[in-house]
Amino acid sequence: MTIQFAHPWVLALLVVPMGLAAWEWQRRGHVVRVPFDHGGRGGGRWLGRSVNVAAGLPALVLAAVLLVLARPQRSDVPRDERLVTNIQFCLDVSGSMAAPFGDGNRADGAIRALQDFTKARPGDAFGLTIFGSDVLHWVPVTRDLSALRLAAPFLRPEKMPQYLWGTMIGKALRSVKAVLERKADGDRMVILVSDGESADLAGGQAEEIGQELSRAGIVVYYIHVAEGQPQEETFTIARLTGGEAFAAGDPGALREVFRRIDGMQKARVRPASPEWVDDYRWVSAGGLMALGLHLIAALGLRYTPW
């Protein structure tokens, strides 16, 4: 264990208690002759040394006080620091998401799977964007998962305005990119859930969007919650960003897809540098011990002139 001091300049004052201790050890004090000084007796060498040690205890207490003022610190055990993954859910709320899907509709199944995914990744930050023909950032990226849970009843497709009834995946991804770029710390990931095809990915737009997201360090996972295979352009975007596109035609397949994403996007850690924490235990223990011994010695082990 390494020890350092937050105020090392205070240590220079230790010359004061050291000088006091040396003075106590060397001084003879007042010489008073008593009748038995000329009689036969031992030299009292050990008794004299004990008295000198007892007289030096106040200097030791002062030294302990100065060490406390210097703020001794020890290096704490370094712990690996978990890097936050900023995950933006991008949920299609177009009219087709109201189609049957298990016990509910596609939107219900997607929302339940999103909520289960957040519970499996403690420490990450999540946001929610809904989209159709336009984009609405519903929940900002946060670690407060209550916002996502409370949002579920309001995200049913039948409650959405008509301007959200279409499907514009490219527009949604570009808008989400602007949101995640404001997150300077941690990884960035988008999980986009949709059941339709997007016209704004044709004509080379998918490659362009994928490259933009890749340069921003954003990984995209696309989940197609309908029968059949995802739109070919979604594979392109996912591949360019280091992600993947999946088909999930039922709730069981959807849960399995989220488990796969969790396994593919592992949480990363970085070695944390040791932290210095105050450590007064050894100084306080030494000072209290010296003070206690001084009080005991004061009861009888001291210089007297008679």
Q: Give pTM, 2 decimals.
A: 0.62
Question: Does residue 37 surpass a pLDDT of 60?
Answer: no
Question: Does residue 61 surpass a pLDDT of 90?
Answer: no
What pLDDT shows up at residue 77? Answer: 60
Can you spell out the DSSP letters for 64-83? HHHHHHT-EEEEPPP-PEEP
What is the pLDDT confidence band of residue 224, given thresholds at 50, 70 and 90? very high
153 Rama class: left (phi>0) / alpha (psi -120 to 50) / beta = alpha
Give the Å distances, CA to CA, from 299 to 292, 296, 304, 306. Answer: 11, 6, 12, 16
At the top level of CATH, the class of 81-268 is alpha beta
Tell me, what DSSP letter sits at residue 250? S
List the chain domain ranges. Answer: 3-76+276-297, 81-268
Give the Å distances, CA to CA, from 206 to 88, 210, 213. Answer: 19, 6, 11
Q: What average pLDDT does this structure show over 162-180?
A: 89
The three-state secondary structure class of 299 is: coil
- Residue 37 tokens, joined: 């000084």
**Higher pLDDT pick, 273 / 208:** 208
Q: What average pLDDT does this structure show over 43-50?
A: 67
Q: Residue 160's Cα: distance from chain center in Å?
A: 38
Query: What mean pLDDT, rounded, does the chain reach?
Result: 82
Residue at 243: amino acid letter? G
**3-7, 8-12, 35-39, 89-93: the lowest-pLDDT one:** 35-39
What pLDDT shows up at residue 306? Answer: 44
> Exposure of 222 by Cβ count < 10 A (0-12 exposed, 13-18 middle, 19+ buried)?
buried
Mention every residue, 6+ apart, whose C-beta is less than 8 A from residue 233: 198, 201, 202, 205, 206
C-alpha triplet 60, 62, 68: angle, nearest 5°: 105
85, 121 Cβ separation under 8 angstroms: yes
